[in-house]
Amino acid sequence: MKPGSVAIVGAGPGDPELITIKAMLRIQEADVILYDRLVNEGLLSYAKPETLRIYCGKSPGHHSMPQERIEQLMIQYAADGNKVVRLKGGDPFVFGRGGEEALAMAEAGISYEVIPGITSAIGAAASAGIPLTHRGLAASFAIVTGSRCHGHESPVRWDRLVNSVDTIAIYMGISQFSDIREQLLLHGKKGTTPVAVIENGTTSRQRTVTGTLNNMEKLLAVMNISNPALIIIGEVVKVREQLLSLESEARSQIG
Ligand code: SAH
Three-class secondary structure of residue 25 per DSSP: helix
* Residue 61 pLDDT greater than 80, yes or no: no
Q: How many angstroms separate the alpha carbon of residue 246 from the centre of ligand 1?
A: 29
Q: How many angstroms separate the alpha carbon of residue 94 from the centre of ligand 1?
A: 9
Going from N- to C-terminal start, the domains of the chain cover 5-115, 120-242
User: What percent of the chain clears pLDDT 70, i.e. is strictly above it?
Assistant: 96
Q: Which residues contact 69 (CB under 8 A, 6 or more apart)?
A: none
Q: In CATH, what class is 5-115?
A: alpha beta
Q: What is the mean pLDDT of residues 159-163?
A: 94
Q: What is the mean pLDDT of residues 230-236?
A: 98
Instruction: Give me the sign of the Cα torsion angle 127, 35, 144, 214.
Output: positive
Q: To test ligand 1's pocket by mutation, which of 230, 231, 232, 233 has the most ligand atoms within 8 angstroms of CB?
A: 230
| For ligand 1, atom 3: residue with the closest CA | 95
Hey, which residues are catalytic here? 36, 58, 172
Instruction: Give me the sign of the Cα torsion angle 220, 222, 223, 228.
Output: positive
Q: What is the pLDDT of residues 197-230, one digit of tens each?
A: 999 999 999 999 999 999 999 999 999 999 999 9
Pocket residues for ligand 1 (CB within 6 Å)?
Answer: 13-14, 38, 88-91, 94-96, 119-120, 124, 171-172, 198, 200-203, 227-230
* Residue 151 pLDDT greater than 80, yes or no: no
pLDDT for residue 62: 73
pLDDT for residue 163: 92
Q: What is the pLDDT of residues 71-106, one digit of tens each?
A: 999 999 999 999 999 999 999 999 999 999 999 999
Report the 10 Å Cβ neighbour count for 124.
Answer: 30
N- to C-terminal Cα separation, the chain: 66
Q: Does domain 120-242 have CATH number 3.30.950.10?
A: yes
User: Do residues 54 and 73 make contact, with C-beta atoms less than 8 angstroms apart?
Assistant: yes
H-state helical runs in 49-150 = 67-79, 98-108, 120-128
Nearest ligand 1 atom to alpha carbon 38: 19
* Residue 133 pLDDT greater than 70, yes or no: yes
Give, in degrees to the nearest 5, the angle at Cα 207 between 206 and 210. 140
Buried b (16+ CB within 10 A) or exposed e, 49-69: eebeebbbeeeeeeeebeeee
Q: How many angstroms separate the alpha carbon of residue 171 from the centre of ligand 1?
A: 6
pLDDT for residue 153: 73
pLDDT for residue 101: 98
Q: How many angstroms separate the alpha carbon of residue 16 from the centre of ligand 1?
A: 14
